[in-house]
Amino acid sequence: MQVSNSMMKYVTLIFCILLIGCEKYKNYDDCYLSEIQKFKYEPSHNDRTIVVISCEIKYPYEKEIYGVEISWHEATLSIKGGDSLYDVTKVIVLASEDDCDSDPKFDKRITYLVPDGKRGHALNRNPSLKCYKPNATRYWGVISKSKVNASR
């Protein structure tokens, strides 16, 4: 069967309308608020978690995450483990030019970018930093569709 040029344009137009029409929300917040309001009862913690995960998958954004384990050596760090549903994208470590034995003032921040969720490199490493404060390290990440699918 041969498809005419006008028929192909018609099919393409229908496909584009369907594709654009399927995008209900502008961002994560719109998605979350609209989906939560669909419940005819007070949503449970599990209901809210399902809505959060489904909206984050559709509208990913970088957010602070917890429980990440890292190891680092100078300008490079490695992600050993952490939140099972998120890929780490950024790590900020507090540091000081003072020796650790002298009650250091942790006034320096080293930012590591982690493009693949496994290894990061410092944007602003300073060789004069001598002491690090690992318990004040902060982590950011985005939800991983593959990790969510694997956990189901």
* pLDDT at 67 (0 to 100): 84
Residues of the chain short of pLDDT 50, as ranges, are 13, 15-21
The letter for the amino acid at 114 is V
Q: What is the pTM of this model?
A: 0.69
Kindly report, residue by residue over 13-23, the tens digit of the pLDDT: 454 344 444 56
pLDDT at 90: 92
Q: Which residues pair with 141 in a beta bridge?
A: 63, 88
By the 10 Å C-beta count (0-12 exposed, 13-18 middle, 19+ buried), 66 is classed as: exposed
Q: What is the pLDDT of residue 107?
A: 87
Q: Which residues of 117-137 are buried (b: 16+ CB within 10 A; e: fewer)?
A: beebebeeeeeebebbeeeeb
